[in-house]
Structure 1
Amino acid sequence: MSSTPEQAVPDTLLATRPAEADNLAMIARQAIVDSHQAVFGYELFDRSTASDAHSAASDAALLFNALSYAGTESLVGEKLVFINCTHESLSGGHLELIHPEKVVLEVPTLPESATLQDIEGRIPTLEGLRKQGFRLAFSEQILRRQYVSWLPLAAFIKLDMMTFAPETAESLVKFSRAHTNAQLIAEKVESAEQHQLMADLGVRLFQGYWFAKPALVQAHTIRPSQATVVQLINLVRKQASTAEIEDLLKKDPTLSFNLLRFINSSGFGLSCEITSFRHAVMILGLKKLFRWAALLLTTSRAGGSPPVVGTTAVVRGRLMELLAAELMPPEECDNAFVVGVFSLLDTMLGVSMEKAMESVALPQPVVDALLHNTGPFAPFLALAKACEAGDDAAFARYAEDLHLSNRQVNWAHLQALTWAEDLGSV
């Protein structure tokens, strides 16, 4: 072929050297083209880490980087974005931050061991996403008998040319057309013969090496201080005034830059540009601002710490808050949350806890717990660490000291994990 859709990409976007871990997001994209070989959309893949592990966290990070840090216009323009998802990530709160008209969620079928009840149990989540405006894409596996209830949900069905013989293509296409309203995409098209076969059957969308190989895109990022992000989380949790939040944004240019870049990205879907911090806070609202800040914290790699450190901090904070609620007044529960979130700040910043504490003003009981392992919050922190470590002896000892039952602690831990997942952070 003499040309490919990828040739329109500016040379400055094509990655030719390794990423700088702290300020580059590496995203691979592969074009999906129409019958005229014009770009219809792009499927995105996270290439920021060496690991190919696909998880809810990687889905969240990919969407976050693609539609916030990366500068959506240079990455995908006005085209659709196709994102491979896990079923865990489909329940994540991070999807509330994304404008659904821009995104197609590629939904996997379940493992072979899944029962019909398992399959049916996914329908409410998938229907909820459709009601939000997301379009759903499925592989040809959805055409199997046990997935008949999913067929009405499909906006796209991707027919993988590597999974079926050419002589069965016609029956697959006819079945798809008879039982769904989905647009068909022939993927992994690697030859003119494969393209012609599917085109003759009326398929109008194509993806594969014959058209365009995945191209790496370097997306420069500017990371705010993780301590400032945690301060923002605390302000939002306390339902601080817009003026207080605006003051914090003004003190950290990188944080305010990321917020304005995100809210003005086409992925967010606003029709006018937001230039005022106050306006950005008002437009986003406290709930979405909290989700954005939590995701910013947990996908950050500042100081060399992996994203899981930020995730653990958020889970630990929520667990401590729930446990404190059994024994303390509400205002003290907020401080318990702060202790949990800040308890890994030294690891996230790559400095001692003493040094980390110099940058923020915190109540003395919070400082006592973090620096000296003393005061009313110290036992809660110790219990939270025991939960994470699976240390049964320490778990029993600290739970008994706080007069909490195993059931209370385990239930709180489960709630904390679920809460963090709802933020799209695990």
Structure 2
Amino acid sequence: MSTLISAPAPVRAAAPDTLHGGAMIARQAIMDEQQQVIGYELFNRSRIHGDHTAASDVLLVFTALSHAGTEELFGKTLIFVNCTHESLSGGHLELVNPDKVVLEIPPLGHAAIEEVLARRPMLMALRERGFRLCFNRQVLESAYAPWLPLADFIKLDVNVLAPDQFGAFVNYAGRHSKARLIAEKVETVQQHKLALALGVRLFQGYWFARPSLVHAKLLAPSQANIVQLLNLLRSQASTDAIEEVLKKDAGLAFNLMRLINSAGLGPAREISSVRQAVLLLGLKKLFRWAAMLLTAARNGVPPPAVGQAAVVRGRLMELLARDLMPPEEADQAFVIGIFSLLDRMLEIPLDAAVRLLHLPPHLAAALLEHDNVFGHLLTLAEACESGDDASFDRVAKVLSLSSQQINMAHLQALAWADQITQA
């Protein structure tokens, strides 16, 4: 795994905190000439108007990755994200799949050519990593000539350019760059027709779609657990120790799996266990992700009791699964157990919650239909909680598990989960 920081100082927790319950994010569609959506520009509507900072950039991307609502923020389309130059070097960009992200780069104001040249290596590095870059019309000015070859998209504001100016910029961009042009702030049919006649093929504005608000929910982990995870990562602890902390907090486990399997941003293969997620990200990226969680935290109430119940359920299913299947499959049983209460934790229907995780079909079927051996284990865990003797006896027989095995595993799961509050 990646080397982090030598001789780390421990991270200290203050009072028990939680993440914000959610943030208001607006998204506005960017469409082609057939009015098919090719991407969405995201806006952070939770911040004070005009207070656009590197920190707000990080929080916007983090919220988009971790969003736990019933509606995807961007699906499989591109996302256009406004950036400050300070945020372009942020570690949060290492957590996303650059193929799906377009970074909107602001101009430097009345910049000297020396400053434009000084910023170029960072922009080149981002493009080499796979990010696409979008600029406004100022990139067509002579001072920004070093940036122009890096432009994948250029936005032209139809509200501030007279028709002859607009045409001149379109012609210049066509001769001197390979960028796709976006006519933005299109509010009338006349503006749309003008841009189309001049050869522009991408559009954004009220004429097509107003920004729509999405209340982006976040599932709150315990701040104490985030701090414990950060300390383990900084000391380069074992995978087993890191996995144990993640598995003891339903919020941590959900946010990590959500990040890994985010639609359009995750890896090509589905990740179905916490251990897989840890090994895939590595210590360095996990540390950055956990630091973002901590940055987004605020004073609040501890995680609800339902989170503790989910941890017990997951641990019980994992322990029982060890008698029935190989260790890597037993890890998947834990995922089923801890996420089986997502509907109550997120206050959305379970099928919508399961869709957020993009789990393999057999694990989704276990959660939603109690199908296959994982579904049987879930039914058994629910029977242990409710005291449903009939279900207990029926499923125990199907799984060939004795009452003694199940009761012992249940006690072990309760004791394991209790260590959270005693730590």
TM-score (norm. length: structure 2): 0.65
Shift of 1:359: 6.2
Match of 1:98 in 2: 96
The answer as to 2:279 corresponding to 1:279 is no
The 10-residue stretch of structure 1 (264-273 or 243-252) with the greater mean CA deviation from structure 2: 264-273
Q: SS at the partner of 2:300? A: helix
Within the candidate set 243, 261, 265, 1:246 is matched to: 243
Count of equivalent residues = 288
Taking the aligned partners of 1:270 and 1:25, their CA distance within structure 2 comes to 26
Q: CA-to-partner distance for each residue in 1:133-178, whole Å, 9 max, x for gaps?
A: 0000000011111111111000000001122111222111010000
Shift of 1:69: 2.4
The answer as to 2:222 corresponding to 1:225 is yes
Shift of 1:59: 0.6
Q: SS at the partner of 1:26? A: strand
Contact 1:161–1:189 (Cα < 8 Å) also in 2: yes
Contact 1:69–1:262 (Cα < 8 Å) also in 2: no
Q: SS at the partner of 1:301? A: strand
Q: SS at the partner of 1:74? A: coil
Match of 1:55 in 2: 53
Equivalent residue runs for 1:23-422 within 5 Å = 23-70=21-68, 74-112=72-110, 114-303=111-300
Contact 2:181–2:201 (Cα < 8 Å) also in 1: yes
Taking the aligned partners of 2:295 and 2:77, their CA distance within structure 1 comes to 28
Gap change, CA 1:106 and 1:72, over 3 Å in 2: farther
Shift of 1:240: 0.5
Taking the aligned partners of 1:21 and 1:193, their CA distance within structure 2 comes to 46
The 10-residue stretch of structure 1 (198-207 or 65-74) with the greater mean CA deviation from structure 2: 65-74
Q: Which runs of 5+ in 2 are unaligned?
A: 1-17, 302-419
Q: Which runs of 5+ in 1 are unaligned?
A: 1-19, 305-357, 362-426
Match of 1:347 in 2: none
User: What residue identity is the alignment partner of 2:56?
Assistant: S
Taking the aligned partners of 1:85 and 1:72, their CA distance within structure 2 comes to 27
Contact 1:67–1:267 (Cα < 8 Å) also in 2: no
Contact 2:75–2:264 (Cα < 8 Å) also in 1: no
User: What residue identity is the alignment partner of 1:88?
Assistant: E
User: What residue identity is the alignment partner of 2:154?
Assistant: I
Contact 2:77–2:264 (Cα < 8 Å) also in 1: no
Runs of 4+ with >6 A deviation: none
User: What residue identity is the alignment partner of 1:111?
Assistant: G
Q: CA-to-partner distance for each residue in 1:323-372, whole Å, 9 max, x for gaps?
A: xxxxxxxxxxxxxxxxxxxxxxxxxxxxxxxxxxx9686xxxxxxxxxxx
User: What residue identity is the alignment partner of 2:300?
Assistant: G
Q: CA-to-partner distance for each residue in 1:77-104, whole Å, 9 max, x for gaps?
A: 1110000100000111111111001100
Contact 1:226–1:302 (Cα < 8 Å) also in 2: no
Shift of 1:251: 1.3
Shift of 1:267: 4.8
Shift of 1:38: 1.1
Taking the aligned partners of 1:42 and 1:274, their CA distance within structure 2 comes to 26
Q: SS at the partner of 1:138? A: strand
Taking the aligned partners of 1:273 and 1:121, their CA distance within structure 2 comes to 40
Gap change, CA 1:223 and 1:302, over 3 Å in 2: farther
